[in-house]
Structures are given as structure tokens and as C-alpha cells.
Structure 1
């Protein structure tokens, strides 16, 4: 079953951000755009390249009013240790959620039960707590922060402009479409 247009399920967990441990819950996301960026595990191979890519583009996400939450089934303690040891992870300024209970991974249906790890899943949640974007890739396929930014801009545009949609490869400032009977068969 798709999670598109479903509500974010309740959660509460410990996280690492800005050199500190913090608590984060679904209530903290109300009224904000959020990205849940699941990855299999700390101290691995593709994961640090993806998290570094997000870190390198974090200012752009912030300009759009989007908060990033990376999530693995590791603890917030492991996130801190990885942050302290890895030059790539040291760049991270966004929140790193721990999910040792596996609840958040199950909520987003990305848990690989037999491994106790999360799939590579990206979820964009709107300010109303509704999931607008879902992307899940195989473990060996890294994601691209710039493409995620493009998709978020499209989601935000559609959210702010009911009755309009963004065509394939749409970029900010380009023409959108207003679905109607007149367009059927003409695109």
C-alpha cells in the first residue's frame, strides 16, 4: 500500500544534532516541510556519500523551509560517534534520528525485518503532516540531493497552487499545467 497522501504516524525518539542529543517527535514537525531520509546503517559505504550530499545542500533545503531528518536503526549515540570520526558526516547540521526500536522504520514501511535495517527511503512530508513524495531505492543505489530539491520545489508549488500540476522535469519558474478537458490528448 502506498504511503502517498497518508498522515505521518506518531513517533518519539532521541536524535543527534549540533553536537547535542535532543528528543524529536511528530509534534515537532507540525507546520513545517520535512524530509525523512532513511538509510541502512552508520559506518557503511553508500550512506555517508548520501548524507554528505544532503549536508552540502542543506542550506538550500533551509531556504525552502525544509528540515532534514536522516534516520537509521542505529542509536543517537552511534550517530554522534560516526559524526566525530567521519569528515563527511562531520559536515551534517541537520537532525540524525535514532530508531533502535524500529518503530519509525516500520511506520514508513522501510524496515528490512530480517536485517533490522532500513531500506534507502526518502519521504517528503508537508506542513499538514501528509506524505507527498515517496522514493525507495535498492541498497546499492545512492540518491541525489539536488533532484530531491527539485521535487520538493514542485511539491511546494502544487501545495500552494491548487488546480495546477508540474510536468516532467519541471524546474522552478517554468510553466505548469492546469488539468482540464481542453488538455486531454493535446500534451
Structure 2
């Protein structure tokens, strides 16, 4: 099972982005922050609401230099068909990875083997390809892009400010903590 600071495992797959098919590999991910957003399947119910929420917030992810990779075990052809027919999915400008073999889903340990679909898993990777945040929810529980943005901002802040940590409910611009002996028992 992936853990915090686990490295991205090698992969190569077909994808759909901006009306085009392309190949994406693990090497393409390195060098910027990235979110791997696993979902069970195209043409479903909760999934389009989550993917639309990400699309509606993409400008904020772009400002943070975060690349979004939506991943399901569908083929890239299916991603295109869904993009072309669903108003919600038609908003998507980020990359949709096809994972028909389940290889990437297995790499992140979110593949439900008996049904061949991924759990709802969210993974934030730093520019070195190391996992900095993990969230896995039950199939009927949708995720929030704004909550994810808060996690991204906190992870980026901590990465660029060694010695500081972000407390619960931290928002960009809020006070952080500097762990020390003097702080113990005073929070």
C-alpha cells in the first residue's frame, strides 16, 4: 500500500486531453505537483460530479502549478466519448488517463480486483514524485475540489517552509506552527 513519501511507480498509458489522445508516463509527472484522482468508471453517477468540481476549480490548481490526472480503468476512447456527450465532463481540460489493465490503480493500491474498477482515491505528489497526501473514500462518497486545494496549499507551504507545520483547518495566509519544546502543552 502506498504511504506518505512513497515514490511514484513506473507506468505508461494512453490518455485523453484537450480533444487529443496522448501517451503519459511516470516521467511526464515529475517536475511539478500532481494529483492522481482515481474514480470507479465513466458514465456513472458520483464520478461526473467530482470531475466537474475539479474542472470548475482547475484555474486554482493551475495557479498552484498542479497537474490533474483523472484515472479510471476505462480506455482513453471511452474518456473521449464521455467528454463529447456529457456537459459536466465536457468542461474538463485536464488529463484523463486510461487504465484498462489496472496497472496504475494497482500501483496506488486502489484497484477493486473483483470488479476491475478503482476506489475513489486521491493522491497528491510533490515534484519529485513522492506522495504527500492520500485520501480514499467509499464508492458512494464524493470528494471536494476546494478541500483538496486546501490540502495542496498546505503541502506546498510545508515543503517550502521547513520547520513549520499547518494546523487543522489551515487556510493560505493563516498562522502556522513552529514545533519546539516551548510549544509542548501550550496548544
Classify the TM-score, shorter chain. Answer: over 0.9
Where does 1:119-134 land on structure 2 (aligned, <5 Å)?
A: 119-134=119-134
Deviation of residue 5 (structure 1)? 1.1
Tell me the distance in 1 between the aligned counterparts of 2:47 and 2:80. 15
Aligned to 1:11: 11
Q: Would the aligned equivalents of 1:46 and 1:142 in 2 still touch at CA under 8 Å?
A: yes
C-alpha RMSD of the superposition: 0.6
**TM-score of the two chains, using structure 2 as the length reference:** 0.99
For the residue of structure 1 that corresponds to 2:132, the secondary structure is strand
Say yes or no: does 1:93 pair with 2:93. yes
Q: Would the aligned equivalents of 2:2 and 2:108 in 1 still touch at CA under 8 Å?
A: no
Say yes or no: does 1:76 pair with 2:76. yes
Deviation of residue 157 (structure 1)? 0.1
Where does 1:160-179 land on structure 2 (aligned, <5 Å)?
A: 160-179=160-179
Could you list the structure 1 runs, at least 4 aligned residues long, displaced by more than 6 angstroms after superposition.
none
1:113-142 superposed Cα distances (whole Å, 9 cap, x missing partner)? 000000000000000110000000000000
Where does 1:1-187 land on structure 2 (aligned, <5 Å)?
A: 1-187=1-187
Change (3 A) 1:161 1:63: same
Tell me the distance in 1 between the aligned counterparts of 2:117 and 2:11. 18
Tell me the distance in 2 between the aligned counterparts of 1:90 and 1:143. 19
Tell me the distance in 2 between the aligned counterparts of 1:47 and 1:170. 27
For the residue of structure 2 that corresponds to 1:154, the secondary structure is helix
For the residue of structure 1 that corresponds to 2:52, the secondary structure is helix
For the residue of structure 1 that corresponds to 2:134, the secondary structure is strand
Number of equivalent positions: 187
Q: Would the aligned equivalents of 1:3 and 1:108 in 2 still touch at CA under 8 Å?
A: no
**TM-score of the two chains, using structure 1 as the length reference:** 0.99
1:70-92 superposed Cα distances (whole Å, 9 cap, x missing partner)? 00000000000000110000000
Q: Would the aligned equivalents of 2:35 and 2:123 in 1 still touch at CA under 8 Å?
A: yes
